[in-house]
Amino acid sequence: MKTASSAPYLALSGLIALLAALFLLEWRTARADLKELSSQVASGMRQMDRRLELESGRSAAAFRSLEMTLERLRDKLRESRSVEVSRAAVAEPDPANPEPAQYLEEEARPLPSLPAGTDPLAAVKLTPEEILKDPRFNPSGRELTGTEVFRIAAALTRGRATGEILESEVRAKMKEALDELRPEGDYVEYAPGEAYEKVEGAITVAEPAAGGRIRMYYLLPEAFQEIHDLRLQKAMEAERALQEVLSIVDGGGLATDNGSPEGGG
């Protein structure tokens, strides 16, 4: 049986129990907040490490670029000296046998521009029939002669073949670049599903890593100018082939099947 004298002790016990419950609740809340904060700090540290890796890669690339630039300057200096020596041994041109002027005229003849929004690397893969049916390349729907169709096929084939040769050279250079960067750790690894960092102007090459991770290499133009130049040359060759195709579609002064010039009459 409870007495009046035991009531204060019971109240004090209840108050202590209440305070203990409140303390436990606050402790659990603070623990959850601390865990979330720790996760955010870890994520921030990973982002900082990745940016530091990219910056260190850029610094290394800048040093390599400087070395390559100096090497190219030395090569040009040697070439200029050899050209000066060779010029002294070159005979004067013979006025009685001038160079044929028609070749110079063909080189100077301007080629038509490509339609806006045309991707040369994709368009050069089209067939002559697809070219002639496409209103971008044949807006007037002109019917071409058999000779012209064969010339279009030759231009497209030449553009694709040149592009494949250049792409093979690009892949060989990329393999050399990765073999150079891999031992130096000049790459960024991403966890599965993690968003990739984008670096403006860089050619990216990916390869699988341990644990399902992706190892990304960033080939910057400062360090790998030759690869960038080959890619640009590939696009320019495709554009040149399509310009030749447009010139043929427009008439271009080519001969018809019966040997007469293709005119506008």
Number of domains the chain is built from: 1
In a domain, 167, yes or no: yes
- Read off the amino acid at residue 60: A
Phi, psi of 88 (to 5 degrees): -65, -25
Portion of the chain with pLDDT greater than 70, in percent? 59
* Domain coverage including residue 237: 20-85+121-249
In a domain, 238, yes or no: yes
Note the pLDDT tens digit of each residue in 102-135.
444 444 457 888 999 999 999 999 999 999 999 9
In a domain, 170, yes or no: yes
Tokens 């447009």 belong to residue:
246
In a domain, 1, yes or no: no
Helix (H) or strand (E) holding 188: strand 188-190
pLDDT above 50: residue 90: no
| pTM across the whole model | 0.55
In a domain, 259, yes or no: no
Phi, psi of 190 (to 5 degrees): -120, 140
In a domain, 244, yes or no: yes
Distance spanning both ends of the chain, measured CA to CA: 126
Exposed/middle/buried for 128, CB within 10 Å: 0-12, 13-18, 19+? Answer: buried
In a domain, 10, yes or no: no
Closest C-alpha among 185, 220, 181, 222 to residue 200? 220
In a domain, 143, yes or no: yes
pLDDT above 70: residue 70: no
Tell me the angle at which helices 225-249 and 146-184 cross, rounded to the nearest 10 degrees: 170
Note the pLDDT tens digit of each residue in 246-264.
999 988 644 334 333 344 3
Mapping DSSP onto H, E and C, the string for 89-145 reads HCCCCCCCCCCCHHHHHHHHCCCCCCCCCCCHHHHCCCCHHHHHHCCCCCCCCCCCC
